[in-house]
Structure formats: structure tokens, C-alpha cells
Amino acid sequence: MARINTAAGNWKMNQQPEEAYKLCSEIENMVKDEVDSSVRTIICPPLVYINPLRRMVSKDSPLKIGAQNSYPEPKGAYTGEVATAMLAEMGVDYVIVGHSERRMLFGEVDDLVKKKVDAVLENGMTPIFCCGEPLEIRDSGKHLEYVSDQISNGVSHLSDNDLQNTLIAYEPIWAIGTGRTASPEQAQEVHKEIRNFISNEKGKEIAANITILYGGSCNAENAPDLFSCEDVDGGLIGGASLKARSFVDIAKSF
């Protein structure tokens, strides 16, 4: 699979039901009317809205539906969790894995994140694998090693084919929800490092084909500069994905 310009919306734990349905239908209509068909658009609503939104948005719509999380076991005594296989049955196409909020607030460690990546691929969906350093690591100048370690622990074990079917999202934690976006130079530096790391492990061709998204206070104003960086293939968008106009404008920023 070749690199695809992508705008993915991470709604996090936001929207009441009626708001969610309205937002989804507004986004879908605008995407159909305004966004170039070469751009991939994805929304990742809270889990409870996946089924109704899946029914609203047909499988062949240019707007794809993703989940924010899933559990790798196929079934069993895991109160409160949703199996990856269940999402696949519902027609979900993408699953965000290892978001920093899951890692920090819910104690997800590399080993679990890796299992989640595997389960998403085994169930025929595409993982959006998140990585990114906290502020103290950025300040210590060790962010490139830190992110490379996350890539190594989370996706290096994948086959060439599976790796090319995985999206990587670089989301510096200090930029998430803070309004403090990484500069295009800061984003490009890390994206290039991720591609180099994969190139060293798996070869140039695989690395060239991987889609790497930037996330962290990305909005319609800063997206054009970020997306024009050589190794930035789009964004994983939090706050700015909750308004149809701003999300669609971001998807039009390539």
C-alpha cells in the first residue's frame, strides 16, 4: 500500500448522541462535495456511536469509520472492554492504538499496545499506531531515541505487508490539546527519523510507503505548513475534528 494523504479525526470522549450524528453527516456531506478523492478521511467517534454511525455512512463512502481503542482478546471475562473482532464485525476500518492518553491515564504498556496492533491487523482492520514523547524527554533532547523505541516495541515485529498496512501517528504529548503545535521543522525531524528507522529495519521501499500522520493541536491554520513537510502525510486531529468545517478544511490542506 502506498502513502496516502490522510485526515483522521479523534473525537475522544466528546459529543452527545444527536450531536455525534449531526457532526458525522455534516462531515460526510462536505467530504463528498469538497475533498479530493485522493485524500483519505476517517472519523473515530466514541465506541457507543460506532454502530449508528456505521449505519449512517455506507461502506463505500469516502468517509471511513475508526475506533479509538479495542481489546485484543476475541471474547471472555474482560468487563467493560470491546473486542477487536466485534469492531471488525461492525464494519470498522481503522483502530487507534496506543494513544498517549491510553498509555498515561489507563496504564497501557508497550506489550499490550503491541498485542492490540496485532489483533487489529488479524481482524482485517488498519491500526493507527500512536507514538510521541512527553515534554521532559523533548527538553532532554532524547525525543528521537524515545520515539524510535516506541516504534521498535510496537510495530517493528510486523511483516512487511502488515507494516505497510499500519498508519503511524507521531503525537508529541506536549502538543496534544495544549494549543502548542510542533513546528513543521520539529514534526519533520521526527517523521524523517521514523522513516529512517523503518528503512534501516525493513528497507527503503517499505519505509517510503508508510503513511505517517502528525497529531497535536493541528488545525486548519497550521495544517498546510505541517502537511507540506516531506515526511508528513496528514494528521490525527483531536479538538479541531469536532467542527465539520475545520476538520474538512484540514482535509483540504494537502
Instruction: Assess 171 for contact with ligand PGA (CB under 6 A).
Output: yes
Q: Which residue from 31, 218, 223, 226 is in contact with ligand PGA, where contact means CB under 6 A? A: 218
Helix pair 17-34, 244-251: axis angle to 10 deg: 30
Q: CA-CA distance, 195 to 207, in Å (whole number)?
A: 5
Instruction: Assess 176 for contact with ligand PGA (CB under 6 A).
Output: yes
Instruction: Assess 203 for contact with ligand PGA (CB under 6 A).
Output: no
Q: Which residue type, as a one-letter code, is found at position 179?
A: G
What is the chain's length? 254
Stretch that binds ligand PGA, among 102-110, 119-127, 188-196, 216-224 (CB under 6 A): 216-224
Q: Which residue from 41, 70, 165, 217 is in contact with ligand PGA, where contact means CB under 6 A? A: 217
Which of 99, 101, 143, 193 is an active site residue? 99
Asked if residues 87 and 123 have their Cβ atoms less than 8 Å apart, the reply is yes
Q: CA-CA distance, 10 to 66, in Å (whole number)?
A: 9
Per the annotation, the verdict on 89 as an active-site residue is no
Instruction: Assess 131 for contact with ligand PGA (CB under 6 A).
Output: no
Helix (H) or strand (E) run with residue 84 in it: helix 84-89
Nearest to 216 by CA among 176, 166, 170: 176
Which of 28, 101, 133, 171 is an active site residue? 171
Per the annotation, the verdict on 171 as an active-site residue is yes
Contacting positions for ligand PGA (CB under 6 A): 10, 171, 176-177, 215-218, 236-240
Catalytically annotated residues: 99, 171
